[in-house]
Amino acid sequence: MKDLRILLLEPNAAAKKLETIMLSKIPGVKEVLAMPNGIAGLKILYEDYGISLIVSCVHMPLMNGFELIRNLADSGMLSIPVIMISNDISMHEQVMQAGAYEFLTKPLSQDRLAEAIERAASMLL
């Protein structure tokens, strides 16, 4: 696992800053691009094909996590693993059925996040 470019979608500024720091500390992560919503995230994906994986909040303005996954599927980009995050554990089954690679609950721990990134990165070989 090396040179991962992660797209982080998080509407909360404080959480986005913390999650960016956490992701940056994971061995093999080269860059974290943080955006506030799914629409901004899709724009990055359409312009930059070097994204390794996506970490996205389920609840976002303009385009939520479910809409993001649907757009990725429609665009043929669902091969990029999507790790969805939420403070609502009841979203787990829905998120996985929608096509997410993994679901993590907030608050995130460094260890759980790193393990999820490592598992998702192993799919990229």
> What CATH number should be reported for the domain holding residue 101?
3.40.50.2300
Number of separate domains in the chain? 1
Which residues in the chain land under pLDDT 50?
Answer: none
* pLDDT score of 40: 94
Token representation of residue 90 = 């009841």
Residues 6+ positions from 97 with CB-CB distance below 8 Å:
none
What pTM was estimated for this model as a whole?
0.94
- Structural domain boundaries, residue 53: 4-123
* pLDDT score of 1: 59
Q: Which helix (H) or strand (E) holds 57?
A: strand 53-57
Ramachandran angles phi, psi of 30, nearest 5°: -90, -40
* pLDDT score of 102: 97
* pLDDT score of 125: 64
* pLDDT score of 123: 85
- Of 6, 11, 7, the closest CA to residue 63 belongs to 11
Token representation of residue 37 = 């919503």
Question: Which residue do the tokens 């996954």 mark?
Answer: 69
The C-alpha atoms of residue 62 and residue 104 are separated, in whole angstroms, by 22
* pLDDT score of 85: 98
